[in-house]
Amino acid sequence: MQKIILITGVSSGFGRAIAERLLGDGHIVYGTSRRELDFSLEGLIVRRLDVTDRHGVKSVVDSIVQEQGRIDVVINNAGVGIAGATELASDEEIDLQMNTNLRGVVGMCAAVLPYMRAKRSGTIINISSIGGVFAIPYQGFYSVSKFAVEAYSEALSLETKQFGIRVVIVEPGDFNTGFTANRKVSAATIDDSDYGKSFARVIKNIEQDERGGGDPRYLARKISKIVRKRSPRLRYLIAPNFIQKLSVAAHTVLPNRLFEILVRIFYSV
């Protein structure tokens, strides 16, 4: 069945791969981006949008419903990453991280939910991260934002299931996307005498893992299957390798002290 789908953040990485896959599945796909796309996908209907702009979000959602009569699926993919010592994060860095990764999701859901409730149907897929399952060193507020998305999505699922709305959390591991190149780095941390050297080691390891990570098309295929499901699960871990899957399981079963030791060793903190 052809669905009307809205994806945020389609300019690169997951968003682009998901849009391409869902177009190939025969759906009508709208994508948003803060900037003009440097590629074209046949059939993709693009709307310029900053997800932190609540009025802009509502305007885009309203216009799609006016054109199509409904929105069946929303995929909240837009996000930003800021790397740095949690202690040294500025108010501006915290605001950017939370406004994009959390409030952007909240605003989009608030705009689309009245239409989904009226239809008694709809699917909301929120892209979280393994960093929303356990905290990643020097990406503290990125993890904070993703932990918040997880809690928000759980609450939303509990409240909206009565209206036939399905909420899904997707937790990607390391994938080779534009996220690595687009990550913002805290100058205060680089220049700090206590954190600087440790930060450089950890970020080097993180970026190596990301560049050697999975193909975003793998995640896009998983999203395609979720979109087709009549009753999807609340949570999907999509990790391209066994180590990342094992790390999530270890976080669940190991004592906190032991898990922290393993994370510090893995990231060379």
Domains of the chain, earliest start first: 4-241 (3.40.50.720)
Would you state the pLDDT for residue 155? 99
89-115 per-position pLDDT tens digit: 999 999 999 999 999 999 999 999 999
Of the candidates 115, 138, 143, 146, the residue annotated as catalytic is 146
Q: Is the pLDDT of residue 184 over 90?
A: no
CA dihedral (227, 120, 154, 124) positive or negative: positive
224 noted as active-site residue: no
121 noted as active-site residue: no
Would you state the pLDDT for residue 178? 74
User: Do residues 78 and 179 make contact, with C-beta atoms less than 8 angstroms apart?
Assistant: no
Would you state the pLDDT for residue 38? 76
Question: Closest by alpha carbon to 268, among 183, 201, 223?
Answer: 201
User: What's the token pair of residue 225?
Assistant: 């299957």
Of the candidates 12, 33, 128, 145, the residue annotated as catalytic is 128
Q: CA-based angle 202:206:208, to the nearest 5?
A: 115
d(CA 177, CA 37): 16
User: Do residues 160 and 204 make contact, with C-beta atoms less than 8 angstroms apart?
Assistant: no
User: Do residues 200 and 193 make contact, with C-beta atoms less than 8 angstroms apart?
Assistant: no
213-269 per-position pLDDT tens digit: 889 999 999 999 999 999 999 999 999 888 889 999 999 999 999 999 999 998 988
143 noted as active-site residue: no
Q: Among 29-38, 109-118, 122-131, name the one with the lowest average pLDDT.
A: 29-38
Would you state the pLDDT for residue 51? 97
Of the candidates 115, 138, 142, 267, the residue annotated as catalytic is 142
Of the candidates 11, 12, 157, 247, the residue annotated as catalytic is 11
| pLDDT classification of 32: cutoffs 50, 70, 90 | very high
Would you state the pLDDT for residue 39? 84
Question: Closest by alpha carbon to 90, among 79, 78, 82, 99?
Answer: 82
Would you state the pLDDT for residue 54? 97
Q: Give the chain's mean pLDDT.
A: 95
Percent of the chain, pLDDT > 90?
A: 81
Coil, strand or helix at 235: strand
User: Do residues 127 and 14 make contact, with C-beta atoms less than 8 angstroms apart?
Assistant: yes
33 noted as active-site residue: no
